[in-house]
Amino acid sequence: MQKPLIFVTNDDGISSPGILFLVSIAKQFGEVAVIAPDKPQSGMGHAITINSTIRINKTNYHNIAIEYSCSGTPVDCVKMAVNKILPRKADLILSGVNHGSNSSINVIYSGTMSAAIEGALEKTPAIGFSLCDYSIDADFSQAKQHLEKIISETLNHKLPNGVCLNVNIPKLKNDELKGIKVCRQAIANWVEEFDERQDPYGRPYYWLTGKFVNFEPESADTDEWALANGYISVVPTQSDLTAHKSIDHLKKLLQ
């Protein structure tokens, strides 16, 4: 039997420690191919490149046959892989491991998760992994056995049509991790503060900064609760943004 084909991408760039770790795990489960951004693409959400061109270049970070850096976004990487590069349909798409959390509302800003959602749109089981640790020295190995379990179960059982997984890992040692919790996305938001500075010519410019606010810290069925209580959170994630419960109300107002 042919080994599963596993496509790996991320948003931190093709040589980041997180994707090196994820590729090393993926190799245990099948043949691995990588197309990932040639530079950091954090916060790119579901952006695609339509106003400029895309380039790809062969690389040798992962010691595999199909391995390219891409000038585009994480979603571009998935589209390029699926439609141009992969020799056959992938059995699994993995994205990450991201350096930093993609829980709750972060999912819509996240290039890592947008790549996984794009995978689900392509009808391929897909998982985005993120470690809640922004440090360049972050230790991705602590949750290794849990990641292997999630990958193995997804390969064996697939995922519901159009659904991918948003996996976030708390910054804890292996023996402190309490296990895996399947949850929903917490209702949360960022309160932005723009850091205003002056360039050497006296003109203002801004850095986007902000403070994360969880509006429901007590809700034990959310990803934020799971992470705060020592669990790896797994949120099944999809791309229908319709607010179905509001349809009837709006029909009365507008039709």
Residues in 117-176 at the binding interface with its own copies, rule: CB under 8 A = 117, 121-122, 149-150, 153, 157, 159-160, 162-163, 165-166
Site for its own copies in 61-90 (CB under 8 A): 72-73, 75-76, 79-80, 82-84
In the chain, the amino acid numbered 22 is L
Specify the stretch interacting with its own copies by CB under 8 A; choose among 20-28, 60-68, 168-176, 199-207. Answer: 199-207
How far apart CA 73 and CA 37 sit, in angstroms, is 6
Provide the 8-state DSSP code for 82.
I
Q: Smallest distance, Å, CB 200 to its own copies? A: 13
- Between the CA of residue 86 and those of 59, 77, 78, what are the distances in Å? 16, 11, 10
Residues 1, 2, 50, 198: which binds its own copies (CB under 8 A)? 50
Phi, psi angles (nearest 5°) of residue 147: -60, -40
How far apart CA 177 and CA 168 sit, in angstroms, is 12
Q: Smallest distance, Å, CB 173 to its own copies? A: 21
Residue 201 as a binder of its own copies (CB under 8 A): the answer is no
Q: Smallest distance, Å, CB 201 to its own copies? A: 12
CB nearer to its own copies: give 63 or 131: 131
CB nearer to its own copies: give 54 or 228: 54
CB nearer to its own copies: give 2 or 208: 208
- Using an 8 Å Cβ cutoff, are 235 and 225 in contact? no
Residue 207 as a binder of its own copies (CB under 8 A): the answer is yes
CB nearer to its own copies: give 26 or 128: 128
Q: Smallest distance, Å, CB 81 to its own copies? A: 11
Residues 20, 48, 66, 228: which binds its own copies (CB under 8 A)? 48
Structure tokens, 22: 């994820």
Q: Under 8 Å CB-to-CB from 50, ≥6 apart: which residues?
A: none
Structure tokens, 164: 């991918």
Structure tokens, 245: 């419960």
> CA Rg, the chain, in Å?
19
CB nearer to its own copies: give 55 or 89: 55
Helices 17-26, 144-157: inter-axial angle, 10-degree rounding: 50
Residue 181 as a binder of its own copies (CB under 8 A): the answer is yes
Site for its own copies in 214-253 (CB under 8 A): 234-247, 249-251, 253
Size of site (CB under 8 A) for its own copies: 83
Coil, strand or helix at 16: coil
